Amino acid sequence: MAGQLHRRDVVAAMLAPRTPDTLVISGLGSSSWDVTAVGDDDRNFCLIGGMGLTAIIGLGLAQTQPEKKVLVITGDGDMLMGMGSLATIANVAPRNLSICVLDNELFGETGGQPTHTAGVTDLTAIARGAGIPTASTVRTEDELKAVIDSVHNGSGPQFHTIKILHEELDSPKPPLDGGYTKDRFRIALLGEAKAVGGFKG
């Protein structure tokens, strides 16, 4: 059953306690528009078209930056395509990684077709079954507040399905130039000297 929470309110509340050491990876389409609506930030890496990759990119970042918090914000369609990443995340068990899935039970970018979560598929149960120790489904404001505290102050890996309304909203775009986005994220993460002069890859 779809939720009653408003996606933009959820993401704004999720990012409100953000510290300078919190890095955000957002999934394609609406999740990236939601993150950008809060404010464009060099520490955001928005995956404009990389469906299914958001959680596993978050894992790689969490492994290479263990002193920083990594917050993945994505949608149910993206997470369904990348479910295998949950098993890897559970086995690596990065303490600094949290995944929040905005679940409106629809493929919002391709016309609003129902996803499997509109049926019997339970992403939280899948995350638990993969071995992620902290996993929950959020439907109320009070549950959301508890998750926000856990994400920013607790240990990972964490996985939270946040049931939201389906809404037709504007689409504030982050920079759409992939090379520019990559470079500014590296500079925000590593500093200009390392990102430009000393970072290979």
Q: Are 79 and 130 in contact (CB under 8 A)?
A: no
Give whole-number Cα distances, 183 to 56, 122, 191, in Å: 20, 37, 11
Q: pLDDT, tens digit, for every residue of 86-102? A: 999 999 999 999 999 99
* Residue the block writes with tokens 């609506």: 37
Question: What DSSP letter does each residue of 51-81 carry, written as one string?
Answer: TT-HHHHHHHHHHH-TTSEEEEEEEHHHHHH
Residue 193 has pLDDT above 60, yes or no: yes
What pLDDT does residue 199 have? 45
What pLDDT does residue 195 have? 63
- Average the pLDDT over 147-176 and give the result: 94
Could you tell me the pLDDT band of residue 200, with boundaries at 50, 70 and 90? very low
Q: Are 75 and 26 in contact (CB under 8 A)?
A: no
What pLDDT does residue 49 have? 78
* Of the candidates 101, 130, 141, the residue with the CA atom closest to the CA atom of residue 117: 101
Q: pLDDT, tens digit, for every residue of 123-137? A: 999 999 999 999 999
Q: What percent of the chain has pLDDT over 70?
A: 93
How many Å apart are CA 115 and CA 76, to the nearest integer?
7
Could you tell me the pLDDT band of residue 63, with boundaries at 50, 70 and 90? very high
| 3-class DSSP assignment, residue 112 | coil
Prediction pTM value: 0.93
Chain centre to alpha carbon of residue 193: 28
